[in-house]
Amino acid sequence: CALPISGAYKRKASAFRNFISKDAPPAGEKDAFHYPPAAGRYRVYYSYACPWACRVLAFIAAKGLTHAFELVCVHPIFGITMPEVDEDESWVFDNKGEFPGTNPDPLGQPSLRHVYVNALKNMNLPPDTDFNDTVPLLYDTKTNTIVNNESSEIIRMINDDFNEFAKHPEVDLAPQELRAAIDTVNESIYETVNNGVYKSGFATTQEAYNEAIHVLYNRLDELEELLGKQRYLVKGATKPNEADIRLFVTIVRFDDVYYVHFKCSKKAIREYPNLTGWMRDVYQTLSLKSSVNMLHIRTHYFKSHPWINPYRIIPISCGVEETLELPHGREL
């Protein structure tokens, strides 16, 4: 990610865009890897703190696929990834088991950056290939290569290609008849809300912040009005789907983190009755408890961005996690 002279936050595109498919690579693509659907073959590196990674956890939970993937949770606090090379900070592993809910790396690596670098070698890619060591990371344990690190593509693979292994194959979070509408909603909330909170929090000029916060709250107001007329984000949907999950992961973090840390302080989500009820509805209906860990979420944000929070103090929680099981009242 980069901050141009304007001070506006720009998110860098994901670099690894391979797909899981029953179809073998086309003849002639000698360097192509084949990633067929399989239970137990793929590893998902994630952080509970990252909303993009938690999209993937939500899909795995809703589909009943926890048994089909090896799930590896990084340490919530950024650390220096390769001290022998530079002082860049990003996701590191808790190989000593010091923080609850984390996992050591099965490859024994100290950081996710090491996993990426080693995978480049296995994929015959140049060592200077440009990448961000982001989560989620879908990793193939058979070839020790990276399948994909773009969450929007990973969740579609989980939804479409793993039904034979799912405990809940009947759960379709991106039905074909609604997919175009889901894509439209996704596009309308990504830059305004999902990335909008980051544009506010990472802005380095007053002008960039003012613009981002204006767009964010305009969209939240629109969503509040919409959810007063229909139960879920996509018109005609009778169950929560991908669009709801993609917004949920931002909304569930809002009051406890973004309101304070990212200066999204015009209005809290708890002041939006329809968004609050909708958040609880999605959480309860899709059984998303395993995808929400507020200890990791709050620890990461308040301790990993010293340019925003130099003393790394974690403010008192407003208790969002404890309210998620309250009645949602969304039987519209």
Exposed, middle or buried by CB within 10 Å (0-12, 13-18, 19+), for 283? buried
* Residue whose entry in the numeric block shows the structure tokens 């990426």: 116
Instruction: Name the catalytic one among 42, 139, 198, 232.
Output: 198
Q: Write out the DSSP string of 52-117.
A: HHHHHHHHHHHHT-GGGSEEEEPPSS-EES-TTT---EE-B--TT--STT----TT--SBHHHHHH
| Half-sphere exposure (Cβ direction) of 13: Cα atoms closer than 13 Å | 4
**Spatial CA neighbour of 168 closest among 68, 100, 272, 297:** 68
Pairwise CA distance, residues 177 & 175, whole Å: 5
50 noted as active-site residue: yes
How far are the Cα atoms of 35, 38, 39, 158, 314 from residue 42, in angstroms, in the given order? Answer: 9, 8, 7, 11, 35
Task: Note whether 68 and 39 are within 8 A (CB).
Answer: yes
Task: Note whether 105 and 13 are within 8 A (CB).
Answer: no
Task: Note whether 73 and 81 are within 8 A (CB).
Answer: no
Pairwise CA distance, residues 285 & 236, whole Å: 17
Structure tokens, 257: 């983190």
Pairwise CA distance, residues 73 & 291, whole Å: 11
Instruction: Name the catalytic one among 45, 48, 50, 139.
Output: 50
258 noted as active-site residue: no
Instruction: Report the catalytic residues.
Output: 50, 198
